[in-house]
């Protein structure tokens, strides 16, 4: 018996010719070398089996076989089907801008997924109507089909187009969205949008730097935004915007039981004359009980800081420590849903786990890339803490699709971009896959934006300088007629 494989978007279709004399059939799946066998029951006369929501970045080495058992108890297996021997590029989804709107530029300037991997919010840098105006395109999945359900734009009548959508953050259920607006009212803001069921997102709150001190407003407020998984806590950062007292700001906002949003606490505000501490990126856990931030600190080395909310609802700093920061760019931080695992990137991607004595290093990745190829991109940890995505937007090999380190061929596509996936079992991390776009091209810079769902089975990678004129879901990826239009790939 011979198995055949047909590949669709996040889908494997397996077909075979069953034995007329069979008493039973089973499909045996081994997700990756060394993994346990997964048994899929089959009808005795089944001739096909469809696997949906396939995480190609975790299944590119999967093998499949159909075991047939006869009435006398004898069982035979089909020839082993090895996914790695097939062209699986068709399993990668391709998201572009809204076909009903003027073409954007830098589609993928920001990116986030909900916990189930059913909603993706994509920020653009230029909405096609006004230079550097921004927008946020919302894609939703229904019945295995992805479509654009809404496009959010800056508020009319307010100088808010500049950098609208430059950062986005989604709650776990995908129904609360935070959007950074870098020039709202000349000073910047973070907007909160909410939706219910099939309704559109509606803006319910706008956070500005004057909420804490109206006489002391930071320009371009909102360098980075984050939201707790439950959608009730939002953090907004601003770096060192006042050179006179060298302050950095980290504000926490909360939605109360009546649904009203307000400033809850400013947990970072460097005092006059103190060390210059500038939050670069911030992350929040599922329940809004833990906050971590990657910080610039002058004249000292950069650092990581963590805060926890006590039983009375007050945030307290728990721990700060300095790493051997080997570069001055690319510092990032990401947190698991339960707040017990954290990943950072300072040129050497690391994972930390919290124990009784505080945070301890669990993983430091020095290979497979030289440091200069992944020192500028934010790492991402799946909500369950089992999958780590290390993007490398400057990677230049000409491989296409998903494979292993051996597929890193000689440079042929300058800064086409890539990502490296690592998986955890217990406290042991192993390399899982090397991820490229199906049609890499010069200076696509895939990996400049990255998001991953709760379980690590849905991965989104942005290539904000990709040049195709395609629109909506799918389209011609080989087109290069629109400079820096941008795209997002789903694995």
SS3 assignment for the chain: CCCEEEEECCEEEEECCCCCCCCEEEEEEECCCCCCCEEEEECCCCCEEEEECCCHHHHCCCEEEEEEECCCCCEEECCCEEHHHCCCHHHCEEECCCCCCCCCECCCCEEEECCCCCEEEEEECECCCCCCECEEEEEEEECCEEEEEEEECCCCCCCCCECEEEEEEECCCCCEEEEEECCHHHCCEEEEEECCCCCCCEEEEEECHHHCCCCCCCCCCCCEEEECCCCCEEEEEEEEEECCCCEEEEEEEEECCCCCEEEEEEEEECCCCCCEEEEEEEEECCCCCEEEEEEEEECCCCEEEEEEECCCCCEEEEEEEECCCCCCCCCEEEECCCCCEEEEECCCCEEEEEECCEEEEEEECCCCCCHHHCCCCCCEECCCCCEEEEEECCCCECCCCEECHHHCCCECCCCCEEEEEEEEECCEEEEEEEECCCCCCCCCCECCEEEECCCCCCEEEEECCCCCCCCCECCCCCCCCCCCCCEEEEC
Q: What is the pLDDT of residue 366?
A: 76
Level-2 CATH architecture, domain 4-89: Sandwich (2.60)
Write the pLDDT tens digit of every residue in 15-73: 999 999 999 999 999 999 999 999 999 999 999 999 999 999 999 999 999 999 999 99
Write the pLDDT tens digit of every residue in 234-277: 999 887 654 444 567 889 999 999 999 999 998 876 554 556 67
Q: What is the pLDDT of residue 125?
A: 79
Say what the pTM is: 0.92
Write the pLDDT tens digit of every residue in 286-301: 999 999 998 876 655 6
pLDDT band of residue 131 (cuts 50, 70, 90) is low
Q: What is the pLDDT of residue 369?
A: 55
pLDDT band of residue 422 (cuts 50, 70, 90) is very high
Task: Please state, rounded to an integer, the average pLDDT across all residues of the chain.
Answer: 87
Range among 335-349, 401-415, 451-465 with highest mean pLDDT value:
451-465
Write the pLDDT tens digit of every residue in 90-124: 999 999 998 877 777 889 999 999 999 999 999 98
The whole-number average pLDDT for the span 178-191 is 83
Lowest mean pLDDT among 12-21, 78-87, 319-328: 319-328
Write the pLDDT tens digit of every residue in 368-390: 555 445 556 889 999 999 999 99
Lowest mean pLDDT among 152-156, 290-294, 363-367, 409-413: 409-413
For the chain, the domains span: 4-89, 341-463
Of 221 and 16, the one with more pLDDT: 16
Q: What is the pLDDT of residue 330?
A: 41
Q: What is the pLDDT of residue 244?
A: 46
Range among 125-139, 179-193, 392-406 with highest mean pLDDT value:
392-406
């Amino acid at each position: 018996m011979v198995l055949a494989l047909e590949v669709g978007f996040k889908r494997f279709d397996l077909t075979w010719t069953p034995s007329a004399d069979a008493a039973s059939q089973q499909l045996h799946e081994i997700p990756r070398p060394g993994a346990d066998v997964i048994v899929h029951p089959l009808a005795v006369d089944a001739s096909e089996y469809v696997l949906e929501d396939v995480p190609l970045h975790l299944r590119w080495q999967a093998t499949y076989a159909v075991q047939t058992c006869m009435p006398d108890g004898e069982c035979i297996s089909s020839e082993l089907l090895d996914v790695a021997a097939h062209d699986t590029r068709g399993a990668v989804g391709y998201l572009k801008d809204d076909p009903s709107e003027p073409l954007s530029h830098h589609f993928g300037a920001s990116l986030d997924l909900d916990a189930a991997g059913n909603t993706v919010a994509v920020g653009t840098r230029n909405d096609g109507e006004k230079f550097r105006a921004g927008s946020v395109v919302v894609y939703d999945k229904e019945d295995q089909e992805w479509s654009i359900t809404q496009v959010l734009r800056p508020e009319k009548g307010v100088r808010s187009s500049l950098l609208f959508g430059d950062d986005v953050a989604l709650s776990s259920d995908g129904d609360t969205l935070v959007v950074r607006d870098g020039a709202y009212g000349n000073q910047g803001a973070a907007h909160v949008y909410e939706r219910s069921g099939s309704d559109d997102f509606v803006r319910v709150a706008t956070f500005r730097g004057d909420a804490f001190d109206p006489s002391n407003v930071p320009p371009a407020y909102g360098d980075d935004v984050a939201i707790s998984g439950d959608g009730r806590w939002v953090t907004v950062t601003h770096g060192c915007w006042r050179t006179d007292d060298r302050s950095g700001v980290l504000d926490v906002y909360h939605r109360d039981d009546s649904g009203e949003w307000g400033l809850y606490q400013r947990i970072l505000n460097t005092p006059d004359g103190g060390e210059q501490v500038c939050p670069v990126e911030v992350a929040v856990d599922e329940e809004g009980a833990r906050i971590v931030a990657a910080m610039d600190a002058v004249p000292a080395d950069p650092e990581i800081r963590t805060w926890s909310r006590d039983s009375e609802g007050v945030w307290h700093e728990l721990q700060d420590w300095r790493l051997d920061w080997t570069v001055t760019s690319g510092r990032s931080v990401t947190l698991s849903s339960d707040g017990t695992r954290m990943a950072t990137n300072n040129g050497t991607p690391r994972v930390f786990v919290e124990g009784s004595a505080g945070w301890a290093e669990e993983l430091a990745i020095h290979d497979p890339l030289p440091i200069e190829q992944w020192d500028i991109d934010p790492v991402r940890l799946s909500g369950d803490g089992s999958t780590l995505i290390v993007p490398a937007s400057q990677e230049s090999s000409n491989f296409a699709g998903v494979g292993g380190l051996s597929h890193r061929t000689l440079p042929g596509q300058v800064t086409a971009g890539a990502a490296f996936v690592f998986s955890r079992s217990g406290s042991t991390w192993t390399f899982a896959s090397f991820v490229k776009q199906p049609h890499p091209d010069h200076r696509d810079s895939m990996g400049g934006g990255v998001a991953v769902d709760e379980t690590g089975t849905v991965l989104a990678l942005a290539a904000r300088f990709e040049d195709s004129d395609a629109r909506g879901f799918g389209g011609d990826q080989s087109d290069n007629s629109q400079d820096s239009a941008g795209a997002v790939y789903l694995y």
